[in-house]
Amino acid sequence: MKNIYDLLTPCLILDEDKLLKNIKRIKSLFVKKKYNFRPHLKTAKCREITLELVKNFGSLAMVSTIEEIENLKNCGIDDFLYSVSIVPSKFERLAKCLSEDCEITVLVDSVYIAEKLVKFFNQTGFKIKAVIELDLDGHRSGVSPNSKQKIYQIAKLLNDAKLFRGVMSHAGESYNITNKTSLLKCAKNEVDQTLKAVSFLKSNSIDCELITIGSTPTILSNYYDERINEIRAGVFVFFDLVQAGVGICKIQDIAISVLTSVISINEESNSIIVDAGWTALSRDTGNANHTIDYGYGQVCNILGEVIEDLIVSNLQQEHGIIRIRENSKAKLPVLKPGDLLRILPNHACATAAAHNKYHVINKKKKIDKIWNRFNYW
Protein backbone atom coordinates (compact mmCIF):
# COMPACT_ATOMS: atom_id res chain seq x y z
CA MET A 1 0.00 0.00 0.00
CA LYS A 2 1.51 3.31 -1.12
CA ASN A 3 1.28 6.67 0.54
CA ILE A 4 0.03 9.43 -1.76
CA TYR A 5 3.23 11.35 -0.94
CA ASP A 6 5.27 8.62 -2.66
CA LEU A 7 3.73 9.14 -6.09
CA LEU A 8 5.52 10.82 -8.97
CA THR A 9 3.61 13.80 -10.34
CA PRO A 10 1.60 14.62 -12.28
CA CYS A 11 -0.61 11.54 -11.99
CA LEU A 12 -4.29 10.62 -11.86
CA ILE A 13 -5.98 9.90 -8.52
CA LEU A 14 -9.27 7.98 -8.31
CA ASP A 15 -11.33 7.95 -5.11
CA GLU A 16 -12.95 4.50 -5.17
CA ASP A 17 -15.53 5.35 -2.53
CA LYS A 18 -16.82 8.29 -4.59
CA LEU A 19 -16.82 6.17 -7.75
CA LEU A 20 -18.99 3.52 -6.12
CA LYS A 21 -21.35 6.14 -4.65
CA ASN A 22 -21.80 7.71 -8.09
CA ILE A 23 -22.63 4.35 -9.65
CA LYS A 24 -25.04 3.55 -6.82
CA ARG A 25 -26.78 6.90 -7.32
CA ILE A 26 -27.48 6.17 -11.00
CA LYS A 27 -28.54 2.60 -10.26
CA SER A 28 -31.15 3.86 -7.81
CA LEU A 29 -32.87 5.75 -10.65
CA PHE A 30 -33.62 2.57 -12.57
CA VAL A 31 -34.94 0.26 -9.86
CA LYS A 32 -38.64 0.89 -10.60
CA LYS A 33 -38.48 2.13 -14.20
CA LYS A 34 -39.11 0.03 -17.29
CA TYR A 35 -36.20 1.05 -19.47
CA ASN A 36 -32.66 -0.31 -19.70
CA PHE A 37 -29.57 1.65 -18.79
CA ARG A 38 -26.55 1.53 -21.08
CA PRO A 39 -23.38 2.96 -19.49
CA HIS A 40 -20.88 4.72 -21.72
CA LEU A 41 -17.39 3.26 -21.25
CA LYS A 42 -15.52 6.11 -22.97
CA THR A 43 -14.94 8.10 -19.78
CA ALA A 44 -13.19 5.40 -17.77
CA LYS A 45 -11.67 3.14 -20.48
CA CYS A 46 -10.76 0.72 -17.72
CA ARG A 47 -11.42 -2.99 -17.19
CA GLU A 48 -12.01 -2.79 -13.42
CA ILE A 49 -14.52 0.03 -13.73
CA THR A 50 -16.26 -1.75 -16.62
CA LEU A 51 -16.66 -4.89 -14.50
CA GLU A 52 -18.27 -2.76 -11.77
CA LEU A 53 -20.67 -1.27 -14.32
CA VAL A 54 -21.59 -4.70 -15.69
CA LYS A 55 -22.21 -5.93 -12.15
CA ASN A 56 -24.62 -3.07 -11.53
CA PHE A 57 -26.28 -2.55 -14.91
CA GLY A 58 -25.92 -5.73 -16.92
CA SER A 59 -24.43 -6.54 -20.31
CA LEU A 60 -25.23 -3.40 -22.34
CA ALA A 61 -22.51 -0.85 -23.08
CA MET A 62 -21.79 2.15 -25.26
CA VAL A 63 -18.32 2.94 -26.57
CA SER A 64 -16.67 5.72 -28.56
CA THR A 65 -13.82 3.67 -30.08
CA ILE A 66 -13.33 0.19 -31.51
CA GLU A 67 -10.37 -0.09 -29.14
CA GLU A 68 -12.87 -0.11 -26.25
CA ILE A 69 -14.78 -3.03 -27.77
CA GLU A 70 -11.58 -5.01 -28.30
CA ASN A 71 -10.30 -4.36 -24.76
CA LEU A 72 -13.59 -4.78 -22.88
CA LYS A 73 -15.52 -7.41 -24.84
CA ASN A 74 -14.59 -10.12 -22.34
CA CYS A 75 -16.00 -8.19 -19.36
CA GLY A 76 -19.46 -9.73 -19.79
CA ILE A 77 -20.83 -7.35 -22.43
CA ASP A 78 -22.96 -8.82 -25.21
CA ASP A 79 -24.42 -5.67 -26.78
CA PHE A 80 -22.20 -2.75 -27.82
CA LEU A 81 -23.47 0.54 -29.24
CA TYR A 82 -20.68 2.37 -31.08
CA SER A 83 -21.34 6.07 -30.57
CA VAL A 84 -19.48 7.65 -33.49
CA SER A 85 -20.98 7.72 -36.98
CA ILE A 86 -19.54 4.74 -38.83
CA VAL A 87 -17.45 4.82 -42.01
CA PRO A 88 -16.76 1.86 -44.35
CA SER A 89 -13.05 1.64 -43.48
CA LYS A 90 -14.04 0.41 -39.99
CA PHE A 91 -16.47 -2.33 -41.08
CA GLU A 92 -13.93 -5.18 -41.19
CA ARG A 93 -12.36 -4.38 -37.83
CA LEU A 94 -15.79 -4.22 -36.21
CA ALA A 95 -16.77 -7.50 -37.88
CA LYS A 96 -13.84 -9.22 -36.15
CA CYS A 97 -15.41 -8.27 -32.80
CA LEU A 98 -18.74 -9.91 -33.65
CA SER A 99 -19.62 -13.33 -32.28
CA GLU A 100 -22.69 -15.38 -31.47
CA ASP A 101 -22.79 -13.84 -28.02
CA CYS A 102 -21.76 -10.27 -28.91
CA GLU A 103 -23.85 -7.87 -31.00
CA ILE A 104 -22.54 -4.54 -32.28
CA THR A 105 -24.75 -1.65 -33.36
CA VAL A 106 -23.41 1.40 -35.20
CA LEU A 107 -24.70 4.91 -35.92
CA VAL A 108 -25.79 5.93 -39.41
CA ASP A 109 -26.90 9.39 -40.54
CA SER A 110 -26.68 9.14 -44.34
CA VAL A 111 -28.19 7.06 -47.13
CA TYR A 112 -24.69 6.55 -48.52
CA ILE A 113 -23.40 4.80 -45.37
CA ALA A 114 -26.60 2.77 -45.03
CA GLU A 115 -26.05 1.48 -48.58
CA LYS A 116 -22.41 0.64 -47.81
CA LEU A 117 -23.35 -1.22 -44.62
CA VAL A 118 -26.00 -3.28 -46.41
CA LYS A 119 -23.53 -4.06 -49.20
CA PHE A 120 -20.92 -5.18 -46.66
CA PHE A 121 -23.46 -7.52 -45.06
CA ASN A 122 -24.53 -8.97 -48.41
CA GLN A 123 -20.92 -9.59 -49.42
CA THR A 124 -19.55 -10.94 -46.13
CA GLY A 125 -22.50 -12.13 -44.05
CA PHE A 126 -21.25 -10.11 -41.08
CA LYS A 127 -24.30 -8.58 -39.43
CA ILE A 128 -23.40 -5.17 -38.04
CA LYS A 129 -26.72 -3.62 -37.07
CA ALA A 130 -27.49 0.10 -37.02
CA VAL A 131 -29.55 2.87 -35.50
CA ILE A 132 -30.24 6.25 -37.05
CA GLU A 133 -28.45 9.01 -35.18
CA LEU A 134 -30.75 11.98 -34.59
CA ASP A 135 -29.51 15.56 -34.25
CA LEU A 136 -31.72 17.31 -31.70
CA ASP A 137 -29.88 20.57 -31.16
CA GLY A 138 -27.23 21.16 -33.81
CA HIS A 139 -24.67 19.78 -31.39
CA ARG A 140 -22.83 17.54 -33.87
CA SER A 141 -23.63 14.75 -36.40
CA GLY A 142 -27.03 13.18 -37.01
CA VAL A 143 -30.28 13.62 -38.92
CA SER A 144 -32.86 16.19 -37.88
CA PRO A 145 -36.11 14.53 -36.69
CA ASN A 146 -37.83 16.81 -39.20
CA SER A 147 -35.92 15.32 -42.16
CA LYS A 148 -38.58 12.70 -42.74
CA GLN A 149 -37.60 11.62 -46.24
CA LYS A 150 -33.97 11.05 -45.24
CA ILE A 151 -34.97 9.15 -42.08
CA TYR A 152 -37.30 6.94 -44.08
CA GLN A 153 -34.73 6.21 -46.81
CA ILE A 154 -32.06 5.20 -44.28
CA ALA A 155 -34.45 3.10 -42.18
CA LYS A 156 -35.95 1.36 -45.24
CA LEU A 157 -32.54 0.34 -46.59
CA LEU A 158 -31.43 -1.05 -43.23
CA ASN A 159 -34.78 -2.60 -42.37
CA ASP A 160 -35.05 -4.50 -45.68
CA ALA A 161 -31.65 -6.06 -44.89
CA LYS A 162 -32.73 -6.80 -41.30
CA LEU A 163 -29.98 -4.53 -39.97
CA PHE A 164 -32.20 -1.79 -38.50
CA ARG A 165 -32.57 -1.50 -34.71
CA GLY A 166 -34.03 1.96 -34.13
CA VAL A 167 -32.98 5.51 -33.29
CA MET A 168 -30.45 7.18 -31.00
CA SER A 169 -30.16 10.74 -29.75
CA HIS A 170 -27.86 12.69 -27.45
CA ALA A 171 -28.78 15.96 -25.73
CA GLY A 172 -25.30 17.43 -26.03
CA GLU A 173 -26.41 20.99 -25.34
CA SER A 174 -27.43 19.94 -21.82
CA TYR A 175 -23.82 20.51 -20.78
CA ASN A 176 -24.30 24.27 -21.18
CA ILE A 177 -27.34 24.49 -18.89
CA THR A 178 -27.16 26.08 -15.45
CA ASN A 179 -30.62 25.64 -13.89
CA LYS A 180 -33.16 22.88 -13.26
CA THR A 181 -35.94 24.48 -15.31
CA SER A 182 -33.80 24.61 -18.45
CA LEU A 183 -32.49 21.09 -17.82
CA LEU A 184 -36.02 19.71 -17.56
CA LYS A 185 -36.93 21.50 -20.78
CA CYS A 186 -33.87 20.03 -22.48
CA ALA A 187 -34.72 16.51 -21.27
CA LYS A 188 -38.30 16.86 -22.50
CA ASN A 189 -37.10 18.08 -25.90
CA GLU A 190 -34.75 15.09 -26.09
CA VAL A 191 -37.67 12.71 -25.57
CA ASP A 192 -40.18 14.56 -27.76
CA GLN A 193 -37.86 14.94 -30.75
CA THR A 194 -36.76 11.31 -30.56
CA LEU A 195 -40.33 10.03 -30.35
CA LYS A 196 -41.29 12.21 -33.33
CA ALA A 197 -38.92 10.14 -35.49
CA VAL A 198 -40.15 6.88 -33.95
CA SER A 199 -43.79 7.78 -34.62
CA PHE A 200 -43.03 8.74 -38.22
CA LEU A 201 -41.26 5.45 -38.89
CA LYS A 202 -44.06 3.46 -37.28
CA SER A 203 -46.61 5.21 -39.52
CA ASN A 204 -44.53 3.87 -42.43
CA SER A 205 -44.53 0.29 -41.04
CA ILE A 206 -40.98 0.41 -39.67
CA ASP A 207 -40.69 -0.44 -35.97
CA CYS A 208 -37.91 0.70 -33.67
CA GLU A 209 -36.73 -2.08 -31.38
CA LEU A 210 -34.27 0.32 -29.75
CA ILE A 211 -35.22 3.87 -28.72
CA THR A 212 -32.16 5.13 -26.91
CA ILE A 213 -31.46 8.62 -25.53
CA GLY A 214 -29.13 10.07 -23.00
CA SER A 215 -26.63 12.37 -21.37
CA THR A 216 -25.61 12.48 -17.73
CA PRO A 217 -27.43 15.81 -17.12
CA THR A 218 -30.74 14.77 -18.71
CA ILE A 219 -30.98 11.40 -16.96
CA LEU A 220 -30.56 13.25 -13.68
CA SER A 221 -33.33 15.71 -14.56
CA ASN A 222 -35.82 13.00 -13.45
CA TYR A 223 -37.85 13.49 -16.64
CA TYR A 224 -39.30 10.12 -17.62
CA ASP A 225 -41.34 8.79 -20.55
CA GLU A 226 -42.07 5.06 -20.69
CA ARG A 227 -42.05 5.09 -24.51
CA ILE A 228 -38.26 5.41 -24.34
CA ASN A 229 -36.76 1.98 -23.68
CA GLU A 230 -33.11 2.84 -23.08
CA ILE A 231 -31.14 5.60 -21.34
CA ARG A 232 -27.39 6.21 -21.63
CA ALA A 233 -24.76 8.15 -19.67
CA GLY A 234 -21.03 7.98 -19.04
CA VAL A 235 -19.33 10.79 -17.13
CA PHE A 236 -21.42 10.04 -14.01
CA VAL A 237 -18.81 7.51 -12.89
CA PHE A 238 -16.45 10.37 -12.08
CA PHE A 239 -18.49 13.58 -12.51
CA ASP A 240 -16.52 16.80 -13.06
CA LEU A 241 -16.71 20.58 -12.75
CA VAL A 242 -18.91 20.92 -15.83
CA GLN A 243 -21.48 18.58 -14.27
CA ALA A 244 -21.22 20.56 -11.02
CA GLY A 245 -21.82 23.71 -13.07
CA VAL A 246 -24.94 22.19 -14.62
CA GLY A 247 -26.08 21.46 -11.06
CA ILE A 248 -26.43 17.68 -11.14
CA CYS A 249 -23.59 16.90 -8.72
CA LYS A 250 -21.59 18.55 -5.97
CA ILE A 251 -17.87 19.25 -6.20
CA GLN A 252 -17.44 16.73 -3.40
CA ASP A 253 -18.82 14.00 -5.70
CA ILE A 254 -15.99 14.33 -8.24
CA ALA A 255 -14.04 11.07 -8.07
CA ILE A 256 -10.88 11.90 -10.03
CA SER A 257 -8.20 14.52 -9.58
CA VAL A 258 -4.70 15.18 -10.82
CA LEU A 259 -1.97 15.08 -8.22
CA THR A 260 0.61 17.78 -8.90
CA SER A 261 3.75 19.19 -7.31
CA VAL A 262 4.43 22.84 -6.65
CA ILE A 263 7.59 23.64 -8.65
CA SER A 264 7.85 27.41 -8.15
CA ILE A 265 6.32 30.38 -6.37
CA ASN A 266 6.12 33.53 -8.49
CA GLU A 267 5.74 36.35 -5.99
CA GLU A 268 5.61 39.08 -8.63
CA SER A 269 2.53 37.62 -10.32
CA ASN A 270 1.13 36.16 -7.08
CA SER A 271 1.10 32.71 -8.67
CA ILE A 272 1.86 29.13 -7.76
CA ILE A 273 3.46 27.10 -10.56
CA VAL A 274 2.85 23.35 -10.67
CA ASP A 275 4.02 20.48 -12.90
CA ALA A 276 0.53 19.73 -14.30
CA GLY A 277 0.18 21.52 -17.62
CA TRP A 278 -2.24 20.89 -20.47
CA THR A 279 -0.67 17.49 -21.11
CA ALA A 280 -1.93 16.37 -17.67
CA LEU A 281 -5.12 18.42 -17.31
CA SER A 282 -6.24 19.16 -20.92
CA ARG A 283 -7.18 22.60 -22.23
CA ASP A 284 -10.89 21.92 -21.80
CA THR A 285 -12.53 24.79 -19.92
CA GLY A 286 -16.23 23.98 -20.23
CA ASN A 287 -17.33 26.34 -17.46
CA ALA A 288 -17.25 29.67 -19.29
CA ASN A 289 -21.08 29.68 -19.58
CA HIS A 290 -21.68 28.52 -16.02
CA THR A 291 -22.23 30.60 -12.89
CA ILE A 292 -18.75 29.75 -11.59
CA ASP A 293 -15.73 29.70 -13.89
CA TYR A 294 -13.08 27.28 -12.61
CA GLY A 295 -10.50 28.22 -15.23
CA TYR A 296 -8.66 24.99 -16.07
CA GLY A 297 -9.45 23.27 -12.76
CA GLN A 298 -10.31 23.71 -9.09
CA VAL A 299 -7.34 23.38 -6.77
CA CYS A 300 -7.56 21.20 -3.64
CA ASN A 301 -5.20 20.26 -0.85
CA ILE A 302 -3.56 16.84 -0.59
CA LEU A 303 -6.73 15.38 1.01
CA GLY A 304 -8.88 16.53 -1.89
CA GLU A 305 -10.47 19.39 0.06
CA VAL A 306 -11.29 22.47 -2.02
CA ILE A 307 -9.12 25.54 -1.42
CA GLU A 308 -11.56 28.42 -1.80
CA ASP A 309 -11.25 30.48 -5.00
CA LEU A 310 -7.92 28.87 -5.94
CA ILE A 311 -8.00 27.84 -9.60
CA VAL A 312 -5.70 26.95 -12.46
CA SER A 313 -5.80 30.22 -14.39
CA ASN A 314 -3.49 29.30 -17.25
CA LEU A 315 -1.68 26.31 -18.74
CA GLN A 316 1.44 25.58 -20.73
CA GLN A 317 2.56 22.16 -21.87
CA GLU A 318 4.13 21.10 -18.55
CA HIS A 319 3.28 24.10 -16.37
CA GLY A 320 0.08 24.99 -14.59
CA ILE A 321 -0.33 28.54 -13.29
CA ILE A 322 -2.47 28.73 -10.17
CA ARG A 323 -3.95 32.00 -8.92
CA ILE A 324 -6.76 33.32 -6.75
CA ARG A 325 -9.97 33.82 -8.76
CA GLU A 326 -10.36 37.39 -9.98
CA ASN A 327 -12.29 39.70 -7.59
CA SER A 328 -11.96 37.22 -4.72
CA LYS A 329 -10.79 38.31 -1.28
CA ALA A 330 -9.15 34.92 -0.64
CA LYS A 331 -5.39 34.79 -0.18
CA LEU A 332 -2.85 32.58 -1.88
CA PRO A 333 -1.94 29.69 0.46
CA VAL A 334 1.59 29.55 1.82
CA LEU A 335 3.32 26.75 -0.08
CA LYS A 336 6.84 25.79 -1.07
CA PRO A 337 8.33 23.84 -3.98
CA GLY A 338 7.72 20.13 -3.48
CA ASP A 339 4.34 20.54 -1.76
CA LEU A 340 1.49 18.52 -3.29
CA LEU A 341 -1.90 19.70 -4.52
CA ARG A 342 -4.81 18.02 -6.29
CA ILE A 343 -6.73 19.54 -9.19
CA LEU A 344 -10.34 18.65 -10.02
CA PRO A 345 -11.01 18.44 -13.78
CA ASN A 346 -13.41 20.50 -15.86
CA HIS A 347 -14.07 17.54 -18.16
CA ALA A 348 -13.29 14.14 -16.67
CA CYS A 349 -13.10 12.37 -20.05
CA ALA A 350 -10.48 14.76 -21.40
CA THR A 351 -8.34 14.78 -18.25
CA ALA A 352 -8.42 11.00 -17.83
CA ALA A 353 -7.38 10.60 -21.47
CA ALA A 354 -4.03 12.21 -20.60
CA HIS A 355 -3.09 9.32 -18.31
CA ASN A 356 -2.49 5.57 -18.58
CA LYS A 357 -3.46 4.51 -15.06
CA TYR A 358 -5.58 5.35 -12.04
CA HIS A 359 -3.96 5.47 -8.61
CA VAL A 360 -6.92 4.30 -6.54
CA ILE A 361 -7.25 5.67 -3.01
CA ASN A 362 -9.29 4.08 -0.24
CA LYS A 363 -11.19 5.67 2.63
CA LYS A 364 -7.93 6.17 4.52
CA LYS A 365 -6.54 8.12 1.52
CA LYS A 366 -3.95 5.41 0.87
CA ILE A 367 -3.11 4.10 -2.60
CA ASP A 368 -4.08 0.45 -2.46
CA LYS A 369 -4.68 -0.32 -6.17
CA ILE A 370 -3.41 0.63 -9.59
CA TRP A 371 -5.96 0.29 -12.41
CA ASN A 372 -4.67 0.55 -15.96
CA ARG A 373 -6.60 2.55 -18.55
CA PHE A 374 -6.11 2.66 -22.31
CA ASN A 375 -6.37 5.35 -24.95
CA TYR A 376 -6.27 5.48 -28.73
CA TRP A 377 -8.82 4.26 -31.25
User: Burial letters for 89-114: b for 16+ Cβ neighbours within 10 Å, e otherwise?
Assistant: eebeebbeebeeeebbbbbbbbeebb
User: Burial letters for 207-218: b for 16+ Cβ neighbours within 10 Å, e otherwise?
Assistant: ebebbbbbbbbb
Judge whether 22 lies within some domain.
no
For residue 203, the surrounding DSSP H or E stretch is: helix 180-203
Judge whether 40 lies within some domain.
yes
57 and 175 in one domain? Answer: yes
Residue type at 78 in one-letter notation: D
How many separate domains does the chain show? 2
266 and 224 in one domain? Answer: no
54 and 189 in one domain? Answer: yes
Out of 182, 203, 237, a domain closes at 237
**What does the alpha-carbon distance between residue 35 and residue 26 come to, in Å, rounded to a whole number?**
13
Beta-bridge partner residues of 85:
107
Judge whether 223 lies within some domain.
yes
Residue type at 226 in one-letter notation: E
pLDDT at 215: 87
pLDDT at 242: 92
Judge whether 25 lies within some domain.
no
196 and 64 in one domain? Answer: yes
Q: By the 8 A CB rule, do 209 and 166 touch?
A: yes
316 and 220 in one domain? Answer: no
Q: Count of CB atoms within 10 A of residue 196's CB? A: 18
229 and 259 in one domain? Answer: no
pLDDT digits (tens, 9 = 90+) for 271-317: 999 999 999 999 988 666 778 889 999 999 999 999 999 999 999 99
Out of 237, 272, 298, a domain closes at 237
pLDDT at 140: 76
Low-confidence residues of the chain: pLDDT under 50:
none
The CA angle 138-144-147, to the nearest 5 degrees, is 150
Judge whether 206 lies within some domain.
yes
CATH number assigned to the domain comprising residue 300: 2.40.37.20
pLDDT at 130: 98
DSSP calls for 102-131: BEEEEEE-SHHHHHHHHHHHHHH----EEE
pLDDT at 280: 97
232 and 265 in one domain? Answer: no
177 and 43 in one domain? Answer: yes
Judge whether 41 lies within some domain.
yes
281 and 133 in one domain? Answer: no
Judge whether 250 lies within some domain.
no
Nearest CA among 342, 324, 321, 334 for reference residue 263 = 321
Give pairs for 73-81: CB < 8 Å, separation 24+.
Answer: 73/97, 73/102, 75/47, 75/50, 75/51, 76/51, 77/50, 77/102, 78/102, 78/103, 79/103, 79/105, 80/104, 80/105, 81/38, 81/105, 81/131, 81/168, 81/212, 81/232
293 and 230 in one domain? Answer: no
Q: By the 8 A CB rule, do 104 and 129 touch?
A: yes
219 and 85 in one domain? Answer: yes
CATH number assigned to the domain comprising residue 92: 3.20.20.10
226 and 267 in one domain? Answer: no
Domain extent at residue 282: 3-10+255-372
Judge whether 243 lies within some domain.
no
